[in-house]
Amino acid sequence: MAESPGALTHPSYGTLRAVTPTASVLLCHNPGQMSLDGTNTWILRAPGSDRVVVLDPGPEDPEHLRRVADVGEVALTIASHQHFDHTEGLDTFVKLTGSPVHAVTEEFRSGGGGGLEHGEVFEVDGLRLTVLRTPGHTKDSVSLVLDGIGPDDPGAVLTADTILGHGTTVLDPQDGDLGDYLDSLDVLIEAGVGRICLPGHGPELPDVAAIARVYRDHRHERLTQVRDALALMGPTADVKTIVEHVYQDVDPALWPVAAWSVEVQLRYLRERA
């Protein structure tokens, strides 16, 4: 069983940490530049129920996957998006639990699990989850609205990598899209007022709508900086030059990652030129 909410703080490896009356997290020990402290595997359970919903079992880490499988009967598993630090362990997890896996991307579905449609609702023993399609970080990214269970529980939104517990989200240069991402932030602003943010990496945050507004403003600020850099250096300026100009306030060790964001920003600007 998880500790009571607030008894532990992030990061707590190897321990099921309660965050809300219905949401607990098992933090995988896979820290890194892209995964921050590690991947948050979210365990959702109605009070008094032995059945759980699992969001993102995580990478192929046998010890972590066993801990997740042991939390209770896994009624269903959801993959928030395609990245390996969220999905690599799915096959092993299904063997351990027999759980159906739902995902936007078909290759990650199994055990009779289907796709994920915007507005689709899952209910498990009184636990109610509503799917939000929130592409941008990747084309297949989703978030989940978790309803509260009483006047003292405002509910939560599980944002995966669309909003992180600290820092900013990197948009995948392969299929990430800034226009989609800005639209997704608007969706989270509307759905997240007063709800706790439960991210895919990093600690929980108190209000989804508030942090989504910060993210949106930051994206527009960076977009303006890239647009100004193009005006200064010419429309054919390369990504490296733009990164060095725009990201002077960022540790140069992070510039290769910033280059991915610039690629996505340039695509956005050129498609709308």
Predicted pLDDT at 273: 58
Token pair 């978790």 is found at: 146
Work out the percent of the chain whose per-residue pLDDT is above 90.
84
Which residues have a Cβ under 8 Å from the Cβ of 258 and sit 6 or more positions away? Answer: 243, 246, 247, 250
Predicted pLDDT at 103: 98
Predicted pLDDT at 271: 85
Band of pLDDT at residue 144, cut at 50, 70 and 90: very high
User: Would you say residue 1 has pLDDT above 90?
Assistant: no
Preceding amide of 256 cis, omega within 30: no
Predicted pLDDT at 206: 95
Band of pLDDT at residue 152, cut at 50, 70 and 90: confident
- Domain spanning 17-207: CATH 3.60.15.10: yes
CA distance 256 to 41: 27
| Residues 103-137 pLDDT 10s | 999 999 999 999 999 999 999 999 999 999 999 99
Predicted pLDDT at 249: 86
Annotate 47-92 with DSSP letters as a single string.
Answer: TT-SEEEEE---SS-HHHHHHHHTTSEEEEEE--SS-HHHHTTHHH
Band of pLDDT at residue 3, cut at 50, 70 and 90: low
User: Would you say residue 147 has pLDDT above 80?
Assistant: yes
User: Would you say residue 5 has pLDDT above 90?
Assistant: no
* 3 state SS of 95: helix
| Residues 16-47 pLDDT 10s | 999 999 999 999 999 998 899 999 999 999 99
Which residues have a Cβ under 8 Å from the Cβ of 9 and sit 6 or more positions away? Answer: 17, 203
Predicted pLDDT at 4: 67
Predicted pLDDT at 39: 98
Q: What is the mean pLDDT of residues 203-232?
A: 95
Which residues have a Cβ under 8 Å from the Cβ of 87 and sit 6 or more positions away? Answer: 56, 57, 79, 81, 103, 108
Task: Write out the two tokens for 203.
Answer: 């600690």
* 3 state SS of 85: helix
Task: Check residues 240 and 273 and name the one with the higher pLDDT.
Answer: 240
CA distance 54 to 56: 6
Predicted pLDDT at 231: 93
Cα 211 from chain centroid? 13
User: Would you say residue 84 has pLDDT above 70?
Assistant: yes
Q: What is the mean pLDDT of residues 185-193?
A: 97
